[in-house]
Structure 1
């Protein structure tokens, strides 16, 4: 290979064999290799933990903001019981005549004394659903029993039942043991009765 000549520079004037030639390296630091190993081990542990958490999160085994599962609650219902010690008022909440009398006869046939079942007309003639109203929570079982006996009426608590002075039909608080049945449009002609 032919030799080429390069222009002269400052390195051409250095005498040959005077010592080191080439790259100069810094001195090796004393006993710092354990610190590098410690940082590498710590980084490895952190990356492994993040990787495991990421896999569990991606697979759906854990959720980022997991709320505790709601506990299902069981609603207590009062068992139905027919109690003929209650007086019953049957009100016709429709425009159809004779519904209150027919239901009164049915209630008397279930065991209520005839003089403890009264009839009348409601203030409204478009009451939607036949409902048995009771005054206090302890009256709910009797209301449910009457509702089932007359064919699946709704049951609701209401405070419009006022106390009475009659000691024979009153409970311990002086309130009359009374249920009020309001006949609704669901029992009117042309509607299926239950």
Structure 2
């Protein structure tokens, strides 16, 4: 076998490094590490997706909570006003007695006359959320004020109690719900329940 002719590359000293393509898999990279990294990335993406969905559904908010309606301000921005010229009918739509007396005392302590606050300890069916019902738009501020005085309640416009209203002495109706019995914080969202009878 004949020898190849001598060229300039024959003068380069041979090193101890590898010769040829170096694209082979790294010896330290095994299937378990790849699996763990894939699981970690998938977990981060799932948590981020759930968080984004909760934010979009308004289950999580970053504000101070002033954006939701409360007893002192409605969605339209109506401020609460304590107006003792309104008569207040209080209906206890729970099985617990004494709730009407507590609400009456709270209102009378804020200036309502004893004859302008009256109630009943019985209703035909239980009501879930304590709610102050008003008839006309002009009554909303007074309804918010009553809701604030009795310790927080939902406020809802309804014609259900319109028959009790008159121009000289407008009336608000408070329906005490089971949220007062369970000891939970009274709801401040607008109730979708039907008025108690």
TM-score interval for Structure 1 and Structure 2 normalised by the shorter chain: 0.5 to 0.7
TM-score (norm 1): 0.53
Q: TM-score w.r.t. structure 2 length? A: 0.52
Runs of 4+ in structure 1 over 3 Å off = none
Count how many residue pairs are aligned between Structure 1 and Structure 2: 112
| Whole-Å separation in 2 of the counterparts to 1:97 and 1:144 | 25
> Are 1:191 and 2:191 an aligned pair?
no
Where 2:128 maps in the other structure, the secondary structure is coil
CA distance in 1, matches of 2:178, 2:149: 19
Give the gaps of 5 or more residues in structure 2. Answer: 1-74, 187-197
Within a 5 Å distance, the mapping from 1:138-153 to structure 2 comes to 138-153=138-153
- 1:149-176 deviation per Cα after TM superposition (whole angstroms, max 9, x unaligned): 2111000001022346xxxx832xx7x4
CA displacement, residues 120-155 of structure 1 (integer Å, 9 cap, x when unaligned): 135344211100000111100100111112111000
Q: Does 1:94 align with 2:94?
A: yes
Structure with greater Cα Rg: 1
Say what the alpha-carbon RMSD is for the aligned residues: 2.0
Give 1:192 shift.
Answer: 3.1
Aligned to 1:30: none
Contact 1:94/1:124 (8 A) holds in 2: no
192 and 84 in structure 1: CA distance in 2 versus 1, 3 angstrom threshold = same
Shift of 1:193: 5.0
